[in-house]
Structure 1
Amino acid sequence: MTGRLSVKLIRRCLQHPLAPLCALFGLLLLVPMGARLALGWSNPLGYLSDLASASLLTVLLYRRPWWLALPVLLVWSLLTLVSAELVSAVGRMPNIADLHYLVDPQFVGNSTGGGLAHPWLGLALLLGLALWLGVQRRGRGAQLPALPRHSWAAPVVLLLVHGTVQYLKPSDADQWQLFNLPHQALATATGQAQIQVEDWLEGDVPELPVQMAGLTQLDLDGEPLLAGPGQARNVLLIALEGIPGAYIQPNREALRSHYRENLMPRLSAWAERGMNTPDYVLHSHQTIRGLYAMLCGDYDKLDNGTPKGIELLTQNQRNQACLPAQLRQHGFATHYLQGAGLRFMAKDKIMPHIGFDATHGLEWFSNANYLEFPWGKDDKAFFEGALDYVGQLKKQKKPWMLTLLTVGTHQPYSAPEAYLERFDTPKQAAVAYLDDAIGPFLDALERQGVLKDTLVIITSDESHGIDGVRLASSWGFNLMLAPEQAQLPKIKSGTYGHVDLSASVLDYFGFEPAASLSGRSLLRDYALGREIMSYTNGKLRYHDGQGTLTECDFQQRCRYYSSPGFIADSATFKGQYGGLRARQISARAEGLDRTLLQSPLNLHYQFGSPAIIPLQAQIKDDWADNLIGAQYLEMPKGSLTRVRFTVRSADPQQNAYILLKGKEREQDVALGLPDEMLVTPDQPLEMDFSFANPEPRKAFSFHLLGYGLGAVEVSDFSVITELPGQEETSEEPQDDNAQSS
């Protein structure tokens, strides 16, 4: 009945003299609103944003020639589709820097081809455009009624209402819940203009250097929880891919979180037996950044700049301060094991460089998977293999440190069919599957007596977030199981984060941490709060340690809240600001970004190695099948990037086929190279090319992909970014690691 009524209304609308207006407004409003409802982004401000944008575009395009309005509607449709796809893929909206991809044939082809997460949205946009064109064609030559004289006031009022609500009662929801893409771009431009006006009104106010000691110092002045060094002989550090702190029941209870889903009951039961730190901050997204922070006692970049783990390859001093290197100096055998290949994000180079004696990935495992997963081992198979690895370490006389990294809860998420049937989403199913894998692993460690002489720390590399849970993208967890558990509290008070993990482990053993480490010890109580920062989901957050949390968003506006700690279920909004105070927050982040290197210029990164890499018959995934670790690099404005690589066939009987792709913020960038390049046993592939960076590039990744029946050796993959005219000054690398020119 409702469907028939809707059809009748549409027909009546299309037969009306205002049919072109009806078709245009329907396309611009009904499709995005319907998509918002279907995708679960049902925030009132989001619907208001859709209504405001639809009103504004309708006023601008109504009664315009079809050939003038059509390109605008095509771009709008593509932006709508791209926004939904990018949120589904990586949990963020596009930004202004992404807009140039609309003129990139490769990107447009990929975006409108197969593999879309929401093909129904593309179909709805296409049908809406076709309907609008049909109405335009039928009414061609007719004089359309004019809109009321003050119709332009409607979008202005709606935008002002949206901005006023955001100002008076800021929402903690994600950006895509509150804005559509055109509105977000308009809000960004308005925010930047407002800041410029505020700067002008402030005049020549001197910008004093911000104090960084509270963020960078090593603080071991707290009261120790243990009377002396810990009794454990070994260290086991387990990093669970993407798991937020809200999944651990003691954390939810301690912070009185409204989140109630109990996806990890096994791990929560173990958490009841250990020391939990509910207010535990993850400083950034991406595995390599989380691993660097926890293993090297330093903030990684609080933006999308080159990960510090990669920058660390340019020097041979700060890497000796990282936890594996320090434990190795104290006689530990240090091991790293992950369930995926090592080349992605250059972990095959970074992990040995920071002190791991043995670094293993997917190639180490001999046990079969329980299900197919593009990144590598499913979690059950991974922990079964990890248990064997621990068994081998137990046979050694030396104390050991083992770091484990799972991958099953990384998108596209890995779970058997039985789990997928039990849960609403693949993410939930994958989390439950991980819980059922780590539970038996910990049980086995206990049966084998490992927990009696091993300090076990379970945490996550990053957080994949939870819709509707405040700060979930920054909310991590730290579960510590120690032989002297009776002396440790069940709930550790205070604010801590990944930057504290290295100092905490060294403090447990009574070792003197390197002076270049940052952070506090989880094994101490502190009378005063501390400064701490994070950058997740496009928001920069800073807690001053004195009860104020500040959050700066894409509009370059900072809101501040009364919050005793960093992670909390709710906080009291106090006000907002821009201008000098906002720049001071950014200056702190920029200061932390430069603790390792002052500039991304004049660095020669070498991602090649003598390793023999077996090829697959076909390329399945641009990320998981990458042959090199040159991901998420930063290239300053006005610089020139030179790339040189050599690929050799390692099989005298087989040819190989090689592709090189560039991606910026996960979106394809044309490099002007052939789609496919042949490597024969007699003729290696050697290339040397450059490209300019007229605007800053961040999160730029190279994807060297290959397929065939043989194997290859990527003996050289050099990336050099420098200012034009300085090309001849760059030095050649001296070894397999990156070198500073």
Structure 2
Amino acid sequence: MRFFSHWLRHPVVPALALGFLLIALPLASRFALGWGHSFGLLSDVAIGSLLLVLLHRRGWLLSVPLLLIWCLFTLGTVELVNAVGRMPEFADLHYLTDPQFISLSTGGSGLSQPLLALALGLCLVCYGVARWGQSEPKPALRAAWLIPGLALLIGHAALQYRAPSDADQWLQFNLPHKLLAEGLSAAQRQTEDWLDAGSPESPPDIHDLTALDLQGTPLLAQAGKARNVLIVTLEGVPGAYIEASRKAIGSSYQQAPMPRLSAWAERGMLTPDYVLHSHQTIRGLYAMLCGDYSKLDSGTPKGIELLNNPERSEQCLPAQLRENGFSTHYLQGAGLRFMAKDQIMPRMGFDKTLGRSWFRNEPYLEFPWGMDDKAYFEGALGYVQQLRKQKKPWMLTLLTVGTHQPYSAPADYLARFPTAKQAAIAYLDDAVADFLQALQDQGVLKDTLVIVTSDESHGLENVRLASAWGFNLLLAPEQAQLPALKSGVYGHVDLTASVLDYLALPMPADIAGRSLLRDYAGGRPMISYTNGLLREHDGQGTFTECDFRQVCRQYASPGFIADSARYLRRLGGRTARLLSQRAELLDQSLHAGKPDSQYQFAQRTPIKLKTSAGDDWADNLVGAQYLELPKGTRTRVSLKIRAVRLDRQGAQLQLKTKEYDRDSLVPLPVLPLLTRDRPVEVSFAFDNLAARKAFSFHLLGQGRGSIEIVDFSVVSEPLEERLLAAQKNIEENQALMP
């Protein structure tokens, strides 16, 4: 111990600890994680060496807190990439100190890289103890020592400009470097906007993205024979998991995580170049069922905006089929309240919207989000059997949940695979393959159009465009007349038009897209926003991608999804802004872009409480998630809850808010105890001086019995109008005074 204490006081120890913390450990972790890209290594050495010079010989009170932040950045980046396949952004920084995020991301099993956390902690402790023992800091290093690190940063930027890489962000940057580059790019854009302020720009034309195109040659000579429609939506599955899709685009991804579904893909019509427009289940469901692009940013999902637009909702696929005599059904394995699917899906036109509470068969394992995939498909098969007994044609949309974090799989699958994610994918592969086989054995495929797809992609490391790569497997009675591989670029925006085209039903006025049941002579544009990257293919062989710095690059690529593409040029100024402007026009809210909004999330149906508090996500009692609260507005919230059946202890309720999935600092009232004879009724408001995006309300409750949410309204209106109205009231009151 005396030797160790004496060693810590050696003057070289702080420098060694700094070197390990700032350079050695980041480099070692890159190689250990398989992130050994040359740009990333250069980024680590450049930023690490600059911080080493800045912090060496600095005082304990300055250096230790900064190094603690560095450790959180390093570990937090690894955990977020492991959890959701992307790097943190400015709005995510609170993630890195949020224990609930870590818990939810790992399913309560702890950090994914505990050795890295341990190594960072030990180095930080060694440095702190050593610096504490050297209370008199020596003069800091001269500024000239910064030159090598700055030269490396300049070299990194020059290489990025001359030979850009399409590798994932975390392979090319560490987090401080990413944030620095993002800030500099924002300043550059503001300067360009200021210089161009005197030159008016006409809005870009988006007709080629929003038009309905049925000019292609039909694959079928007449309407399809199927009388029913079944859409099977698999949570988070990328197109790379399907073998025929990998072969079609020449993918370098070598694994085969879903061999049984891949075998089924060779029995139907598979579309390999199939684009997912965004992340989040509700966005994917909206795009595929309403023939429209989902939001290409983090604003309020269009599915929620649909609640205030009954005219547009009548053009969604379920409503169109219902109008043409179909009974329409939606069944998912999770509860319905999260993201208000209990309201959104009926608004889209589903006669019945059912979730976890519908299932009576026993699950094979406990999963916080809902039914495991095997039990889910067994229940869904029973539901199909019920539908086949009715005389009316039917439409059924299914959504699994087992391949959502923290991933669901039985012990025998977990024993066969190195990670829970891989085990969950294999479990889903067996479950959906058994389901499709049962449909065939029972004759369902003879009279039913079956489409298997995914709501979003949970991405893959080192696989280009994996976050936007989906798949569409179509199984029809006329399979012999359809190609095994459907050529061309398609996406979720095309699914509604494709089903209506197959059934030869009238097309509503405002849907977009092409039909998968037609061949087209020319290309078409396609757009997507995933993993923080906005991408567009112009249909003429040019692919444009804008990164987190809004630096845009163009590539030569025959289709949207490709294993590689030839770099053409870097874009800036007005040309680069054109893509973001097109995305903004596509994002125009369904309530015509008005700055005020009003939503009612109360369903007035009994909700059974749990006896103990759960997590903020799976046990949320209200579906007000991922809203956008515009800048310069005041948001008013009214909440009323009554008891349906409660014991004498009553129910304890708690309301939370989050922004970008982290706790928000909005002042909230403490909810009183809910009892059988005393409902809870509160109102509050807060101002949005800056725009709030991905803003969520989380209502939690614990008790014995059931409650009913009578009112949960969220209204945002411009601050100016509110102040003018208040001033008018004051003037009117003064006029009435004697």
- The answer to whether the superposition gives a TM-score over 0.5 is yes
- Match for residue 598 of structure 1 among 592, 596, 618: 592
Q: Determine the C-alpha separation between the residues in 2 that align with 1:635 and 1:446.
A: 48
C-alpha displacement of 1:123:
4.0
Q: Determine the C-alpha separation between the residues in 2 that align with 1:430 and 1:670.
A: 36
- Match for residue 169 of structure 1 among 163, 170, 177: 163
Indicate yes or no: 2:653 matched with 1:645.
Answer: no
The equivalent residue for 2:144 is: 150
SS for the counterpart of 1:78 is helix
Flag the 1:578–1:231 CA change in 2: closer, same or farther, 3 A: same
Indicate yes or no: 2:288 matched with 1:287.
Answer: no
SS for the counterpart of 1:706 is strand
SS for the counterpart of 1:152 is helix
Q: CA RMSD in A?
A: 2.6
Given residue 479 of structure 2, which amino acid in structure 1 is its aligned partner? Q
C-alpha displacement of 1:689:
1.4
Indicate yes or no: 2:234 matched with 1:240.
Answer: yes
The equivalent residue for 1:331 is: 325
Unaligned residue ranges in structure 1 (runs of 5+): 1-7, 731-741
C-alpha displacement of 1:679:
1.3
The answer to whether the 8 Å contact 1:246/1:475 transfers is yes
- Match for residue 665 of structure 2 among 644, 666, 670: 670
Given residue 627 of structure 1, which amino acid in structure 2 is its aligned partner? L
The answer to whether the 8 Å contact 1:648/1:712 transfers is yes
The answer to whether the 8 Å contact 1:14/1:23 transfers is no
Aligned length: 720
Q: Determine the C-alpha separation between the residues in 1 that align with 2:447 and 2:316.
A: 23
- Residue by residue over 1:206-242, the C-alpha shift from the partner in whole angstroms, topping out at 9 and shown as x without a partner, is 3221111110000001111110111111101110000
The equivalent residue for 1:71 is: 65
C-alpha displacement of 1:677:
4.5
The equivalent residue for 1:737 is: none
The answer to whether the 8 Å contact 2:103/2:110 transfers is no
The answer to whether the 8 Å contact 2:76/2:95 transfers is no
After TM superposition, the structure 1 = structure 2 runs for residues 160-309 of structure 1, keeping only pairs within 5 Å, are: 160-199=154-193, 204-309=198-303
- Residue by residue over 1:636-665, the C-alpha shift from the partner in whole angstroms, topping out at 9 and shown as x without a partner, is 222222222112222242411111111111
C-alpha displacement of 1:26:
2.4
After TM superposition, the structure 1 = structure 2 runs for residues 388-467 of structure 1, keeping only pairs within 5 Å, are: 388-467=382-461
The equivalent residue for 2:136 is: 141
- Residue by residue over 1:389-415, the C-alpha shift from the partner in whole angstroms, topping out at 9 and shown as x without a partner, is 000000000000010011111111111
C-alpha displacement of 1:332:
0.5
Deviates most, 483-492 or 666-675: 666-675
Flag the 1:644–1:104 CA change in 2: closer, same or farther, 3 A: farther
The equivalent residue for 1:545 is: 539
Q: Determine the C-alpha separation between the residues in 2 that align with 1:356 and 1:347.
A: 11
Q: Determine the C-alpha separation between the residues in 2 that align with 1:722 and 1:13.
A: 64
Flag the 1:680–1:41 CA change in 2: closer, same or farther, 3 A: farther
C-alpha displacement of 1:65:
2.1
Deviates most, 30-39 or 543-552: 30-39
C-alpha displacement of 1:202:
5.7
Q: Determine the C-alpha separation between the residues in 2 that align with 1:105 and 1:217.
A: 46
- Residue by residue over 1:602-650, the C-alpha shift from the partner in whole angstroms, topping out at 9 and shown as x without a partner, is 2111101211111112233211111111010001222222222112222
Deviates most, 214-223 or 705-714: 705-714
After TM superposition, the structure 1 = structure 2 runs for residues 92-131 of structure 1, keeping only pairs within 5 Å, are: 92-99=86-93, 116-131=111-126
- Match for residue 488 of structure 1 among 465, 482, 487: 482
- Residue by residue over 1:692-711, the C-alpha shift from the partner in whole angstroms, topping out at 9 and shown as x without a partner, is 22222111111111112221
Q: Determine the C-alpha separation between the residues in 1 that align with 2:521 and 2:302.
A: 32
Q: Determine the C-alpha separation between the residues in 1 that align with 2:509 and 2:31.
A: 53
- Residue by residue over 1:297-332, the C-alpha shift from the partner in whole angstroms, topping out at 9 and shown as x without a partner, is 000100000000000000210000000000111101
C-alpha displacement of 1:158:
1.4
SS for the counterpart of 1:715 is strand
Deviates most, 693-702 or 409-418: 693-702
Q: Determine the C-alpha separation between the residues in 1 that align with 2:682 and 2:228.
A: 47
SS for the counterpart of 1:419 is helix
What is the TM-score of this pair, normalised by structure 1? 0.92
The answer to whether the 8 Å contact 1:600/1:635 transfers is no
The answer to whether the 8 Å contact 1:562/1:572 transfers is yes
- Residue by residue over 1:254-276, the C-alpha shift from the partner in whole angstroms, topping out at 9 and shown as x without a partner, is 11111121111111111111001
The answer to whether the 8 Å contact 1:196/1:579 transfers is no
- Match for residue 694 of structure 2 among 690, 696, 699: 699
- Residue by residue over 1:172-208, the C-alpha shift from the partner in whole angstroms, topping out at 9 and shown as x without a partner, is 2222222221111110112123334445666744322
The equivalent residue for 1:524 is: 518
Flag the 1:109–1:73 CA change in 2: closer, same or farther, 3 A: farther
C-alpha displacement of 1:138:
2.3
Q: Determine the C-alpha separation between the residues in 2 that align with 1:247 and 1:675.
A: 47
The equivalent residue for 1:3 is: none
The answer to whether the 8 Å contact 2:216/2:519 transfers is yes
Given residue 721 of structure 2, which amino acid in structure 1 is its aligned partner? Q
SS for the counterpart of 1:502 is helix
- Residue by residue over 1:46-76, the C-alpha shift from the partner in whole angstroms, topping out at 9 and shown as x without a partner, is 2222221211222222232222333322333
Flag the 1:177–1:407 CA change in 2: closer, same or farther, 3 A: same
The equivalent residue for 1:739 is: none
Q: Determine the C-alpha separation between the residues in 2 that align with 1:695 and 1:108.
A: 28
- Match for residue 677 of structure 2 among 663, 670, 682: 682
The answer to whether the 8 Å contact 1:604/1:719 transfers is yes
Indicate yes or no: 2:568 matched with 1:574.
Answer: yes
Q: Determine the C-alpha separation between the residues in 1 that align with 2:137 and 2:72.
A: 30
Q: Determine the C-alpha separation between the residues in 2 that align with 1:323 and 1:154.
A: 60
C-alpha displacement of 1:11:
11
The answer to whether the 8 Å contact 2:84/2:458 transfers is no
SS for the counterpart of 2:48 is helix
The answer to whether the 8 Å contact 1:541/1:552 transfers is yes
Flag the 1:26–1:218 CA change in 2: closer, same or farther, 3 A: same
Q: Determine the C-alpha separation between the residues in 2 that align with 1:729 and 1:380.
A: 58
Deviates most, 386-395 or 719-728: 719-728
SS for the counterpart of 1:242 is coil
The answer to whether the 8 Å contact 1:107/1:669 transfers is no
Q: Determine the C-alpha separation between the residues in 2 that align with 1:179 and 1:674.
A: 42
Q: Determine the C-alpha separation between the residues in 1 that align with 2:154 and 2:337.
A: 49
Q: Determine the C-alpha separation between the residues in 1 that align with 2:263 and 2:188.
A: 51
Given residue 696 of structure 1, which amino acid in structure 2 is its aligned partner? A
C-alpha displacement of 1:163:
1.6
SS for the counterpart of 1:529 is coil
The answer to whether the 8 Å contact 1:14/1:22 transfers is no
The answer to whether the 8 Å contact 2:305/2:589 transfers is no
The equivalent residue for 2:707 is: 712
Q: Determine the C-alpha separation between the residues in 1 that align with 2:566 and 2:427.
A: 37
C-alpha displacement of 1:79:
3.0
Given residue 585 of structure 2, which amino acid in structure 1 is its aligned partner? G
What is the TM-score of this pair, normalised by structure 2? 0.93
The equivalent residue for 1:735 is: none
Given residue 303 of structure 2, which amino acid in structure 1 is its aligned partner? G
Flag the 1:133–1:675 CA change in 2: closer, same or farther, 3 A: farther
The answer to whether the 8 Å contact 2:299/2:626 transfers is yes
Q: Determine the C-alpha separation between the residues in 2 that align with 1:414 and 1:349.
A: 27
Given residue 587 of structure 1, which amino acid in structure 2 is its aligned partner? Q
The answer to whether the 8 Å contact 1:27/1:132 transfers is no
Deviates most, 72-81 or 389-398: 72-81
- Match for residue 60 of structure 1 among 47, 54, 69: 54
Q: Determine the C-alpha separation between the residues in 1 that align with 2:102 and 2:248.
A: 48
The equivalent residue for 2:652 is: 657
The answer to whether the 8 Å contact 1:235/1:402 transfers is yes
- Residue by residue over 1:97-116, the C-alpha shift from the partner in whole angstroms, topping out at 9 and shown as x without a partner, is 344788999999999x9965
The equivalent residue for 2:735 is: none
Unaligned residue ranges in structure 2 (runs of 5+): 726-738
What's the % identity of the aligned pairs?
A: 60
The answer to whether the 8 Å contact 1:101/1:669 transfers is no
